Amino acid sequence: MPDLFRLSILAADKAFYEGECVSLVIPTTEGSYGVMAKHMNMIAAIVPGILKATLWNGKASEEVRLAVTEGIIKVENNEVLVLVDSLERPEEIELSRAERELAAAKAALQKKSSDFEHSLAAIKLARAMNRIRAKEFIDKN
């Protein structure tokens, strides 16, 4: 049996996973960051990208990839907590819808609007681009 750590992955609207994990790679402001059992304690900001986890079901490992948005990761005493605004399995992403969302976000950014509306459009743009990248990456592999 491999060395394991406890992993909880939570989005604002749902709990995705709570259980044992072999390894985790998460997109952070400093680049992709890997976590294994007995990792040092740390906290980092998560950015939109692809989370890759090797989960353990008690008998075998399973690799999972998720498109994630902004959030935070906390590693403490061999327990990892991942909190993100949203997450999706790439197979759940409808590419044509993501492309429409991308076009709408680009159009909203070009309008003269308030700082808040501009920030909201930028967030929507980043999420749409991340969803498209995640879908295309998984479809190729």
**Which residues, other chains included, contact 91 with Cβ-Cβ below 8 Å and sequence gap of 6+?**
138
Cα–Cα distance measured from residue 130 to residue 35, given in angstroms and rounded to the nearest whole number: 22
Model confidence over 50-106: pLDDT tens digits? 999 999 998 999 999 999 989 999 999 999 999 999 899 888 888 888 889 889 989
What spatial distance separates the first Cα and last Cα of the chain, rounded to whole Å?
A: 27
Prediction pTM value: 0.81
Neighbouring residues of 118: CB distance < 8 A, sequence distance ≥ 6: 109
Q: Give dist(CA 17, CA 33) in Å, integer.
A: 19
- 5-88 under CATH 2.30.110.10, yes or no: no
Q: How far apart are CA 66 and CA 52, in angstroms?
A: 7
DSSP bridge pairs for 76 = 79
Structure confidence at residue 46 (pLDDT): 96
pLDDT of residue 41: 97
- Enumerate the domain spans of the chain: 5-88, 94-140
Topology adopted by domain 94-140:
1.20.5
